[in-house]
Amino acid sequence: MAAHEIEVILARQLADSLTVPIFLTDNKGTLLFYNEPAEELLGRRFEEHGPMNLETWSVIFDPQDEQGMSIQPKDLPLVKSLTQRIPAHGSFYITGLEGRRVYLSVTCIPLIGEGSRFVGALAIFWEITQL
Amino acid sequence: MIVRYWGTRGSIATISPDTQLYGGNTPCVSVAKDEHLLILDAGSGIHRLSQAKYYTDFDEIHIILSHLHMDHIQGLGFFEPFFSAESVVHIWGPPSAKHSLQARLSRYLSPPLFPFTINEFQCDLHIHEMHQEQFILGPFEIQTRYVCHPGPTLGIRIDTSTSTCTYIPDHELYLGSVNFPHNPTWTTGYDLAHNTDLLIHDAQYTEQEYNQRIGWGHSTISQAIAFAKIANAKKLRIFHHNPNHSDNQIDQIMTRFVNEKEIEIGVAKEGSTEELP
């Protein structure tokens, strides 16, 4: 049982302290945590399902563009941050696990620690109607 | 493996009659096996090691710096082997995002803070930058991991074929963990301390003191004990003593933990030695 990287742990601490929704993955894209404000949009408490791999979370919320077309996982901002190690931003619809469709603005950053260690990525997102 | 404490005090040296028992020098711990010597941190305690000429029986000297706060490097300029052309000294430590280890050390080891520069050391000096690493030095397998403390700070685990010592002198467990102490995978330093024979860990504060200093990078004694328990460490040595605590105060604080039976808890005492198999 290995501990997570310190940057990931501190990012989770930050997410726990903020009232904006945050979604946190490790460097393989495994969802490690999302905070309470994110639970409201995603429709389920994180503890109900626990960690989730990229292949699952990138489709389970049915991301769609403004024309209602499905967005391929590789085109999601968080997947871009994970694969290209760059900040990425986008706006799209998801359907929460309780069935509520929401339009989100999402900004993602790669987490790169001391020694250029790529340890994960986090997404901060917002329901557009709240802007 | 012989572990010897040359400096156990945190933050600032506090040499006084009130700190004679546990010591007033800042962090320096030696780990020796056969002809190999590791020196963990170079606080003012390294001067005591130097005065004792403890290094003379060893082939090479490796100084491993957990981080570069002043209390962990202030003794560097007073370590005799640096001034002997016959000495071979290795310094290991973390660089920062934009500055090399040598550049960071030179901020202290140069005028006006110090009379000359690191380039003027006469020994055969080798500086090794270290992030999260796993490497072998003689009989020691060394593993480092970043832990929660302001600035790049490494915890250090030293394995030999027969025993393990973990040194995490500065570590804020409460900020560096989620739901502490109930979630090992979300606790910084856990991998280093897991199943270790001897855990030397930051325990600078009482709970009351910590509440005034959250974010300063240190743990409480009870947090260090809880960490040792979840990591299944066999022995815990309370370390990085608060410079405001006298020996009597430390003894008084420790009476709260006399009923802890799961692990052997002791206060690291300057000048003391302990032997691991």
**Is A129 a member of any domain?**
no
- The parent domain of residue A81 ranges over 21-60+71-120
**Is A86 a member of any domain?**
yes
**Is A131 a member of any domain?**
no
CATH number of the structural domain spanning residue A31: 3.30.450.20
| A13 in B contact zone (CB under 8 Å) | yes
Order of all β-strands in the sheet with B164-168:
B134-137, B140-146, B154-159, B164-168, B198-202, B235-239, B264-267
**Is A33 a member of any domain?**
yes
| B184 in A contact zone (CB under 8 Å) | yes
A8-63 residue pLDDT tens: 999 999 998 899 999 999 999 999 999 999 999 999 999 999 999 999 999 999 99
pTM, to two decimals: 0.92
CB contact under 8 Å between B176 and A6, yes or no, is yes
CB contact under 8 Å between A113 and B187, yes or no, is no
CB contact under 8 Å between A4 and B186, yes or no, is yes
- The parent domain of residue B127 ranges over 2-275
**Is A7 a member of any domain?**
no
User: Which of A10, A12, A114 is facing B94, going by the closest CB pair?
Assistant: A114
The domain tally of chain B equals 1
Cβ–Cβ under 8 Å, residues B76 and B109:
yes
B13-58 residue pLDDT tens: 999 999 999 999 999 999 999 999 999 999 999 999 999 999 998 9
Q: Are strands A31-34 and A22-26 parallel, antiparallel or unpaired?
A: antiparallel
| B214 in A contact zone (CB under 8 Å) | no
Contact partners, residue B251, CB within 8 Å, separation at least 6: none
Distance of CA B70 to the CA centre of its chain: 13
User: Which of B94, B132, B178 is facing A9, going by the closest CB pair?
Assistant: B178
Q: What was the pLDDT predicted at A70?
A: 97
Chain B, nearest residue to A115 by Cα: B131
B212 Cα to chain A: minimum distance (Å):
19
First to last CA, chain A: 41
**Is A103 a member of any domain?**
yes
**Is A3 a member of any domain?**
no
The domain tally of chain A equals 1
ipTM attached to this prediction: 0.81
**Is A55 a member of any domain?**
yes
Considering only CB atoms, which chain A residues are within 8 Å of B131? 114-115, 117
CATH number of the structural domain spanning residue B119: 3.60.15.10
B133-187 residue pLDDT tens: 999 999 999 999 999 999 999 999 999 999 999 999 999 999 999 999 999 999 9
- A111-128 burial by CB neighbour count: b if 16+ within 10 A, else e? bbbbeebebbbbbbbbbe
Closest alpha carbon to B31 in B195, B164, B168, B129: B164
